[in-house]
Amino acid sequence: MWRAKKLPLVLSFWAMYCIFAVLRAKFTHIPTDITLWAQISGGAFWLFSFFMITDPKTSPADTKGMIGFGVGLALVDAWLQLNTAVFSLIWALFLVSTVRGLMAMVRDQRVGALPAAVR
């Protein structure tokens, strides 16, 4: 994590994932053992945390962007789990990455529309 310089992304995702799992347990009256411990003790969660969200080509480069990306992933995942989605981590990554890509396209179009002297 320190070599790829993606530690803020992973830590923000973990922190928010744990908070949302505890809140989900309180709202749905499901034990925290299931909403949190069973999820984070699985290999899929660790593979997702260390290899999928930290991909240098698809994750933000700056610290503020990494934190926002991690929080967004955890938030979308919590919403998907409340709606009983299967493979919610993968879907959350797909949705957040798609929105991030669309936002970058809109931003680039706006910058492209500016006169060269303003850019």
For 60-115, what is each residue's pLDDT tens digit? 889 999 999 999 999 999 999 988 878 889 999 999 999 988 888 888 877 666 55
Position 115 scores a pLDDT of 55
Average pLDDT, whole number, for the chain? 85
Position 69 scores a pLDDT of 93
The first and second tokens of residue 24, run together, are: 């989900």
What predicted TM-score, i.e. pTM, was given to this entire model?
0.82
98-114 burial code (b ≥16 CB/10 A, e <16): eebeeeeeeeeeeeeee
- Angle at 19 (CA atoms; ends 15, 20), nearest 5 degrees: 115
Position 32 scores a pLDDT of 86
- For residues 39 and 65, the model is more confident at 65
Nearest by Cα to 47 from 37, 58, 39, 59: 39
Q: What is the pLDDT confidence band of residue 4, given thresholds at 50, 70 and 90?
A: low
Position 68 scores a pLDDT of 93
**Which helix (H) or strand (E) segment is 66 a member of?**
helix 63-82
Q: What is the pLDDT confidence band of residue 118, given thresholds at 50, 70 and 90?
A: very low
Residue 22, pLDDT > 60, answer: yes
